[in-house]
Structures are given as structure tokens and as C-alpha cells.
């Protein structure tokens, strides 16, 4: 019995020493005292982040399609960002007027959408005219909450773009004082 007590006490002592050793390592580890300097911090309901992006930078079209000679061609380039080029051209202009057209017939809507010599900028999901104002620095007061998911740019008409909604076939014709699509065509 004595040997059993000796083994029990020595095993317990070794376990306590190992436990104290690992506790000291955890307490003295400098990694527990380091903080990420780029971490997002939350204070109440507001978040602070080192990246400050405007809502207009986030809600830009995700796909560019060229309608030409009864064919649709997805445009992409590693050298030129077509969406930013389009945005730069639109930011320089001022909206003259906006009018709403309802296309009840699917064929009429699709014929406008697939017209030749036009570029279509597609969004992943519908956005509002209010976000269009922020993204392209425009001041459209009408139709602020109405949604669209495509921007049709007829390359032969220098004053008009169309904001199109596939869900309800609404089309908003936006007329500008003047637009030049020379860079976009190139």
C-alpha cells in the first residue's frame, strides 16, 4: 500500500507541476498581448474601418456586353476598365431630363435591349435611381426609389442612355446635354 500512495502522490505532484508550467507559458506568451493594427473596431452601432469607400464605388455594373450585328459579345479587358471609362464619361455630363416608358410586351423590351451598336452594362441585382445619382454624380430628382438592373448605351445616339428593369420591363430614358462615346467605342 505504501508504494501505491507514493505513486499516487508523485503522479499528482508531477501533474500540478506540468499544469503550472503550461499556465506560465500561456501568461508569458507575447502573442496574447499583440493586436492587429488594421482590425475593424465596433463602437456601439457604428463601425470604423481603414478602407473608406463611397457607396457609388461599390454599386457599379459587373458585366459589359456589346450588341453588334445581331450578336452579343461580353467585353472584358485587362488593360482598360470599361465600367470606369463609362463612369468617367457620365460624371462629366449633366442630366437634362428623365422619362419613364413601360414596355408591356416582352418582345418590345427585348428589341430595345438587343438593338445593334449598343453597349449594355449589367448589375448583379437591381439598384435604385438614387444609387445611380451617387455612383455617377448626377442629380435626378424623379424616380429616386425605382429600380433598374441594366444600363443601355446606344453608341449612335450621343445624348441618351436607358436604365432598364427586367422584372417589370420599365425603361427610364435619360437625356443629357451632350455625351461623347468616342473613347468607349475605341
Mean pLDDT by 10 residues, the chain (186 residues): 86 95 84 59 53 68 82 73 80 84 81 86 88 85 86 84 88 82 62
* Within a domain: 114: yes
Question: What pLDDT score does 13 carry?
Answer: 95
d(C-alpha 65, C-alpha 110), whole Å: 14
* Within a domain: 42: no
* Within a domain: 43: no
Question: What pLDDT score does 81 carry?
Answer: 77
Question: What pLDDT score does 19 carry?
Answer: 95
Q: Does residue 14 sit in the same domain as residue 101?
A: no
Question: What pLDDT score does 9 carry?
Answer: 92
pTM of the predicted protein model: 0.66
Q: Does residue 13 sit in the same domain as residue 68?
A: no
Question: What pLDDT score does 18 carry?
Answer: 95
Distances (CA, A) of 86 to 106, 120, 155, 179: 28, 11, 12, 11
Q: Does residue 24 sit in the same domain as residue 94?
A: no
| Contact (Cβ atoms closer than 8 angstroms) between residue 162 and residue 84 | no
Residue 21: give the domain boundaries.
2-33
Q: How many domains does the chain have?
A: 2
Chain centroid to CA 112: how far?
26
Question: What pLDDT score does 146 carry?
Answer: 87
* Within a domain: 39: no
Q: Does residue 25 sit in the same domain as residue 59?
A: no
Question: What pLDDT score does 63 carry?
Answer: 83
Question: What pLDDT score does 20 carry?
Answer: 94
Q: Does residue 107 sit in the same domain as residue 22?
A: no
d(C-alpha 7, C-alpha 46), whole Å: 59
Question: What pLDDT score does 55 carry?
Answer: 67
Amino acid at each position: 500500500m505504501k508504494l501505491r500512495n507514493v505513486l499516487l502522490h508523485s503522479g499528482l505532484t508531477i501533474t500540478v507541476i506540468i499544469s503550472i508550467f503550461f499556465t506560465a507559458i500561456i501568461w508569458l506568451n507575447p502573442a496574447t498581448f499583440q493586436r492587429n493594427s488594421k482590425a475593424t473596431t465596433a463602437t456601439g452601432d457604428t463601425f470604423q474601418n481603414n478602407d473608406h469607400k463611397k457607396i457609388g464605388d461599390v454599386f457599379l455594373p459587373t458585366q459589359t456586353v456589346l450588341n453588334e450585328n445581331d450578336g452579343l459579345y461580353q467585353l472584358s479587358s485587362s488593360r482598360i476598365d470599361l465600367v470606369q471609362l463609362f463612369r468617367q464619361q457620365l460624371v462629366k455630363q449633366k442630366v437634362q431630363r428623365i422619362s419613364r416608358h413601360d414596355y408591356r410586351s416582352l418582345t418590345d423590351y427585348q428589341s430595345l435591349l438587343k438593338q445593334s451598336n449598343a453597349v449594355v452594362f449589367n448589375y448583379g441585382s437591381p439598384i435604385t435611381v438614387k444609387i445611380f445619382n451617387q455612383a455617377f454624380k448626377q442629380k435626378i430628382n424623379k424616380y429616386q426609389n425605382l429600380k433598374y438592373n441594366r444600363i443601355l448605351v446606344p453608341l449612335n445616339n450621343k445624348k441618351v442612355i436607358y436604365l432598364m428593369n427586367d422584372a417589370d420591363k420599365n425603361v427610364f430614358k435619360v437625356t443629357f446635354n451632350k455625351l461623347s462615346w468616342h473613347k468607349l467605342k475605341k
